[in-house]
């Protein structure tokens, strides 16, 4: 990655992962490749702390996970509840509607989360097929409380499924899929999982697979259909090849390299999450010292893998971002439609956090101090 690229994905990936992405072409049905995909399926389970979840690894991006949920777990006309904490909630709802779901949304105020009380009362009004939420909304840095959401759903409407959009949280935030009873975790390769973009990664619980198997009509997508993919994933896991559509062979090698680091390397997965928490605290404390306000309204609902800060009064993106760029620190502009111009986003996931010797976090903090200071100074003149 360009030195110091600190956007919330695609993130910088380790050299051995890049190297694996340049693996000489291999047949997707070769004896060498089959166990590599099989291992990726198994290690994906480890990352999400599930023993019974069914992973789907498909060429695509995070977005394709929404299509999978919408076309395999919901039938046209069924009710779905979307807990909306920003840009990605809007899009998930749009996708669900495309496949015929009747979508109700509870939209949190900007920077806030949806309260358990609101979820509870919504669940009492209607029988929802599924409740979806964005674990970390990348547009706001808001972290939803996955465990409590799943608890509330189980308590009030035990048949309802829960789907967690973990594109910006898998491998940077704690997710205990089995313990918490989450039915779907969907994500992508290019953020906490430290792999180049191009892979849609989804894990479905046994309950979700049962709901899928009991559909009245077949899935209403073809490329995202679990009817097509489930036998393929099962075959590769058992060690034999099967074909529906060609897997992204090189990227699977790259994902394998990154998963091996995450599940078998040092730091352990638990330590990795802890390092994300610490880096996040450091960056948020530094921003507070600079007088920057966080977009998340409550510290307890702020992501550990990214941060979103409002610019100081009178300062805008063109005052800050180019100054950071000159210091080789690339951050992302705002994305939430309500206040795009008023804030910026910093990613701190994966290698820049885990490999502390690189000093990336300190560099980002120092550069942010300078750039914000200069921006404020320039406005005084």
Task: Name the 3-class secondary structure at 109.
Answer: coil
Identity of the residue, 38 or 60, whose beta carbon is nearer to ligand PLP in the bound complex: 60
Partner interacting with residue 221 (select from ligand PLP, a second copy, none; CB below 5-8 Å by kind): a second copy
- The whole-angstrom separation of Cα 22 and Cα 15 is 11
In sequence order, what DSSP letters do the residues of 145-198 get, joined into one string? -HHHHHHHHHHH-TTSEEEEE-TTTBTTB---HHHHT-SEEEEETTSTT-S-S-
Nearest-approach distance from CB 93 to a second copy, in angstroms: 11
Residue count, binding to ligand PLP (CB under 6 A) = 14
For ligand PLP, the binding residue among 61, 97, 107, 274 (CB under 6 A) is: 61
Residues that bind a second copy (CB under 8 A): 1-2, 5, 7, 9-13, 18-19, 21-28, 30, 32, 59-64, 66-67, 70, 94-95, 98-99, 188, 190, 196-198, 218-225, 244-251, 330, 332
Partner interacting with residue 48 (select from a second copy, ligand PLP, none; CB below 5-8 Å by kind): none
Nearest-approach distance from CB 284 to a second copy, in angstroms: 23
Identity of the residue, 165 or 183, whose beta carbon is nearer to ligand PLP in the bound complex: 165
DSSP state for residue 52 in the 8-state scheme: S
Count how many Cα atoms sit within 13 Å of the Cα of residue 169 in the half-sphere of its side chain: 29
Identity of the residue, 312 or 350, whose beta carbon is nearer to ligand PLP in the bound complex: 350
How far is Cα of residue 223 from the mean position of the Cα atoms in its chain? 21
Asked if residue 50 binds ligand PLP (CB under 6 A), the reply is no
Question: Which residue do the tokens 């290690």 mark?
Answer: 43
Nearest to 149 by CA among 140, 141, 128: 128
Count other C-beta atoms under 10 Å from residue 286's C-beta.
Answer: 19
Length of the chain: 381
* Distance (Å) of CA 114 to CA 121, 196, 378: 12, 32, 39
For ligand PLP, the binding residue among 4, 55, 62, 305 (CB under 6 A) is: 62
* Structure tokens, 104: 């109700």
* Residue pair 163/26 in contact by the 8 Å Cβ criterion: no
For ligand PLP, the binding residue among 188, 279, 306, 308 (CB under 6 A) is: 188
Nearest-approach distance from CB 360 to a second copy, in angstroms: 14
Please, which of residues 70-99 interact with ligand PLP by CB under 6 A? 88
What is the distance between the terminal CA atoms of the chain, rounded to a whole angstrom?
36
Q: How does strand 199-204 pair with strand 54-59?
A: antiparallel
Identity of the residue, 110 or 188, whose beta carbon is nearer to a second copy in the bound complex: 188
For ligand PLP, the binding residue among 50, 54, 105, 134 (CB under 6 A) is: 134
The answer to the question of whether 345 is labelled as a binding residue is yes
* Residue pair 242/232 in contact by the 8 Å Cβ criterion: yes
Q: Which span (49-57, 160-168, 252-260, 284-292) binds ligand PLP, by CB under 6 A? A: 160-168
Q: Which residues bind ligand PLP (CB under 6 A)?
A: 9, 61-63, 88, 134, 137-138, 165, 167-168, 188, 245-246
Binding residues for substrate: 345
């Amino acid at each position: 990655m360009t030195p110091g690229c600190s956007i919330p994905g695609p993130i910088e990936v380790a050299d051995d992962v890049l190297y694996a992405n340049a693996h000489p072409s291999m047949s997707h049905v070769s004896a060498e490749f089959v166990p590599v995909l099989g291992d990726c399926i198994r290690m994906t389970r480890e990352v999400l702390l599930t023993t019974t979840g069914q992973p789907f690894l498909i060429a695509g991006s995070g977005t394709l996970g929404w299509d999978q949920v919408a076309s395999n777990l919901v039938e046209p006309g069924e009710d779905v509840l979307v807990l909306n904490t920003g840009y990605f909630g809007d899009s998930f709802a749009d996708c669900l509607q495309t496949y015929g779901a009747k979508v109700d949304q509870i939209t949190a105020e900007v920077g806030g989360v949806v309260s358990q009380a609101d979820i509870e009362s919504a669940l009492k009004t209607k029988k929802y097929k599924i409740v979806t939420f964005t674990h970390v909304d990348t547009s706001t840095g808001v972290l939803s409380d996955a465990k409590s959401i799943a608890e509330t759903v189980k308590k009030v409407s035990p048949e309802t499924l829960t789907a967690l959009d973990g594109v910006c949280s898998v491998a940077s935030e704690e997710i205990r899929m089995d313990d918490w009873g989450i039915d779907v975790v969907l994500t992508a390769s290019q953020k906490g999982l430290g792999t180049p973009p191009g892979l849609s990664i989804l894990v479905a619980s046994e309950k979700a697979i049962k709901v899928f198997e009991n559909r009245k009509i077949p899935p209403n997508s073809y490329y995202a259909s679990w009817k097509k993919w489930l036998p393929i994933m099962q075959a590769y896991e058992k060690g034999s090849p099967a074909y529906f559509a060609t897997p992204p062979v090189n990227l699977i090698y790259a994902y394998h390299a990154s998963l091996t680091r995450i599940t078998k390397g040092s730091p352990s997965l638990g330590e990795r999450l802890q390092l994300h928490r610490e880096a996040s605290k450091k960056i948020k404390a530094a921003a507070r010292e600079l007088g920057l306000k966080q977009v998340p309204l409550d510290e307890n609902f702020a992501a550990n893998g990214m941060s979103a800060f409002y610019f100081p009064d009178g300062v805008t993106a063109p005052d800050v971002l180019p100054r950071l760029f000159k210091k080789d620190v690339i951050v992302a502009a705002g994305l939430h439609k309500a206040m795009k111009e008023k804030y910026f986003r910093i990613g701190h996931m994966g290698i820049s956090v885990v490999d502390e010797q690189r000093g990336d976090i300190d560099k980002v903090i120092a550069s942010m101090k300078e750039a914000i200071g200069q921006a404020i100074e320039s406005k005084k003149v």
